[in-house]
Amino acid sequence: MTTRTVKPIQSSVGLPAERLAQLRALADRHGVSAVEIVERVIRSAVEAGEIEDTLPGFAEVAVADDDVLFVSIREASLPLLNRDQAHLIAAVIDAATGTTPLLNLEFKSGTAMGIPLGYGHKLYVGRHAKAVTFTIVDGKTGETTLRTATTASIATDFARLLRKNAAELVRPVFQLTDDGSAVPTVFFRRLVSDETTAPNATAIGETR
């Protein structure tokens, strides 16, 4: 299987020299790059509802059913994700960008963390210089199917989209292990051990 490697595409926007000088001055004042200033403007527009909250060209995130998300990166689809998997990926991305560090998880350039997605499939999130990298490994063949990278800002937006859409899902009661068997989730175990059952309730399978 051939690994599809997608490098970030750089685009150019024509600005009058005077505006470019002002943009650089604004970036210097805030201690960021000129690109980050533009990305902040775009993020503000998303938050204000002026443009759609999407990441065209990089990722698609959508609710596929009551309890799973469809997620693709550079048009390469991940296995359907449940709520906990989406939150885990978002947390690792935030750690890779330095937004929210995770305990005992330090991302240095050239390192990555593998996130299991069931049936041996994995998504690796890592760092390369200032970029955040994403690698998809197929569980059936063990082959790498996609390598790509993006800016920390876009990766942070991706993590936010995962959490936003995951919030619309119901919590799963079963999860699949790498061998394909279904086991109760922590959420399900808490449900069945909950002692706040309504009085006189009929147990599942019981008849009156």
Instruction: Tell whether 28 is covered by a domain.
Output: no
Instruction: Tell whether 35 is covered by a domain.
Output: no
Task: Give 131's contacts (C-beta < 8 A, 6+ positions apart).
Answer: 8, 149, 150, 151, 152
Q: Where are the alpha helices (DSSP H) in the chain?
A: 17-30, 34-47, 83-97, 152-166, 186-193
Instruction: Tell whether 149 is covered by a domain.
Output: yes
Instruction: Tell whether 207 is covered by a domain.
Output: no
Domain of residue 117: give its range.
4-9+57-183
pLDDT for residue 63: 95
Task: Give 157's contacts (C-beta < 8 A, 6+ positions apart).
Answer: 43, 55
pLDDT for residue 180: 62
pLDDT for residue 109: 87
Instruction: Tell whether 133 is covered by a domain.
Output: yes
What count of Cα atoms within 13 Å lies in the side-chain half-sphere of residue 166?
A: 21
Instruction: Tell whether 43 is covered by a domain.
Output: no
Q: Report angle CA 165, 166, 167 to the nearest 5 degrees.
A: 90
Instruction: Tell whether 74 is covered by a domain.
Output: yes
pLDDT for residue 172: 63
Quick one: 132 exposed, middle or buried, by C-beta within 10 A (0-12, 13-18, 19+)? buried
DSSP code string of 7-44: PPPP------HHHHHHHHHHHHHHTS-HHHHHHHHHHH
Residue 116 sits in a domain whose CATH number is 3.30.2450
pLDDT for residue 160: 96
Instruction: Using alpha carbons, select from 147, 140, 68, 69 the residue that is nearest to residue 112.
Output: 147
Q: How many domains does the chain have?
A: 1
pTM for the full model?
0.78
Give the chain's residues under pLDDT 50.
188, 190-208
Q: Which helix (H) or strand (E) holds 79?
A: none
pLDDT for residue 101: 82
Q: What is the C-alpha to C-alpha distance for residues 146 and 160, in angstroms, rounded to an integer?
A: 22
In this structure, the strands spanning 4-6 and 68-73 are unpaired
Q: Please answer whether residues 2 and 145 qualify as being in contact, where contact means their C-beta atoms are separated by less than 8 angstroms.
A: no
Instruction: Tell whether 179 is covered by a domain.
Output: yes
